[in-house]
Amino acid sequence: MIVSAPFMRPSPARVSPLPATSVPWYRTITPDQWRVLIAAKAGWMLDAMDFMLYAMAIGELRAYFSISDAMAGLLGTVTLVMSGVGGILFGVISDRLGRTRALMATILVFSLASLGAATSQTLIQLLLWRALLGIGMGGEWASGAVLISETWPAAHRNKAISIMQSGWAIGYIAAALTAAVILGSPGAGPETWRLLFVVGVLPALFTLWIRRHVREPDTWVSRGAPAARVKNPFAVIFGPGLRARTFLIILLGSAVQFAYWGIFFWLPAFLARPVEQGGAGMGVVGSLGWIIPVQIGAYFGYLTFGFIADRVGRRRTFIAFMLIAAILVPIYGQMARSPLVLMLLGPVLGYFGHGYFSMFGSFVAELFPTAVRGTGQGTSYNVGRMAGALAPYTIGAVAALPGIGIGLALATTSAFFLLAAGLIFTLPDRSGQALEA
């Protein structure tokens, strides 16, 4: 076991299986625990909606600002890089000021940044607002995942994180529907995308509910804001005891995030672009309609991952998702030219191309002690996200090469799914164990 010197203590004991009972598992969850889950899931859902509004409007933004695919991808990369910064920043904030306070702050940041993006007159202004949105986006996941991990029973932690993670698919669908209505309206003009970003400010209102109904986890409160006793949490997670573990989580996150963002950032553009340009030829409004089946598959992938992991093991489930996704991506990229193929493969790609993210919230939280859990989770996962942020630009640049196109460029992400399947063996799996104090 890798242990940081300031936190030497016996390895956490595995929680004994719950005794046989006729009471369903969900009836054993307290109202406070359900409210925590609602807050984290809704925050992640709204985060997804705000982030994906940009991907839905790429065609309009390319025309308005006269930018190339590579530059459009670069804006996505900047947002993702800054989401890594946000994850690190709010990980520290959640350790020092509280998980719930950090969650509310992140929602306010990405909501107000979406509104600011609607006012952009230049490409630089749009880039700055999207960078700020990224900070809120990364911070929301880090705060929400730790909040759930410290609040829910160990026996049901995988399920809770899966339910939270499924909020991303709902937010993605909400972004697609919003874009279809606004950008596809008869009166849509060259600046209609601004209204799309204005809608993104609405999540800010949700913080009022969180403030009133969600309290800090007992694990954090009982230790009296434990991070206050750690002068430099980074010295702990990158110290001799935890350094190797932290770097391995970063590598795993990098592989997964590159594969994911390489595919799904460009999916709307791939579906909309004409076949002769390497796309699926569905048009802007048509492509948004075909995104929904993909995200329905994603929703069930997120939702069921934890339940499957509880039955067959978290590591085995993750590897299965990685291998199937690696096979599906090149097939989808080359065959998605007809409604039948989109209908059959879209939900399957969505299921296996997303569901594995439901592992990370609980998996990473279990590898750090309470005093630096927010910092450890936020840093290790989000530095990986920053590395994966190279994907939108890379895929955009590869797609621009002669004879390549987006469909073929997407297939390169399969290698990163395979890499992640191997890296999972380098980290311990503490599923079902009590969190280390």
pLDDT string in tens for the chain (437-residue length): 344 444 444 444 444 444 545 778 888 999 999 999 999 999 889 888 888 888 788 888 888 998 887 788 788 778 878 888 888 888 888 888 888 999 999 999 999 999 999 999 999 999 999 999 989 988 888 888 888 988 998 888 889 999 999 998 899 888 888 988 898 777 778 888 999 899 989 888 888 899 888 988 877 777 655 545 677 888 999 998 899 999 999 999 999 999 988 887 777 666 666 666 555 556 554 555 667 788 889 999 999 999 999 899 999 999 999 999 999 888 876 666 666 777 778 899 899 999 999 998 889 888 998 888 888 888 888 888 888 778 877 877 877 777 666 666 777 889 999 999 999 999 998 877 767 65
> The dihedral of CA 401, 402, 403, 405: what is its sign?
positive
Give the CA count within 13 Å in the CB-facing half-sphere of 5: 4
Largest CA-CA distance found in the chain, in angstroms, rounded: 65
Residue labelled with tokens 């601004």: 194
Helices (H) and strands (E) in the chain, counts: 21, 0
- Other Cβ atoms closer than 10 A to 30: 11
**Rounded CA separation 12/395 (Å):** 43
14 backbone dihedrals φ, ψ, rounded to 5°: -70, 135
DSSP at 192: T
Question: What are the residue ranges of helices labelled H in 206-338?
Answer: 206-213, 218-221, 233-237, 243-264, 267-272, 283-312, 314-335
CATH number 1.20.1250.20 given to 30-225+232-426: yes
| Of 46, 65, 67, the residue nearest 110 (C-alpha) | 46
Give the CA count within 13 Å in the CB-facing half-sphere of 256: 29
**Rounded CA separation 33/164 (Å):** 12
The two three-digit tokens of residue 321, written as one number: 């998702």
Strand partners, 433: 14
Alpha-carbon dihedral 314, 320, 326, 331, rounded to 10 degrees: -140
**Rounded CA separation 378/298 (Å):** 23
Residue pair 163/355 in contact (Cβ under 8 Å)? The answer is: no
Burial class (CB in 10 A: 0-12, 13-18, 19+), 169: buried
CA 44 to chain centre: 8
Residue pair 54/192 in contact (Cβ under 8 Å)? The answer is: no
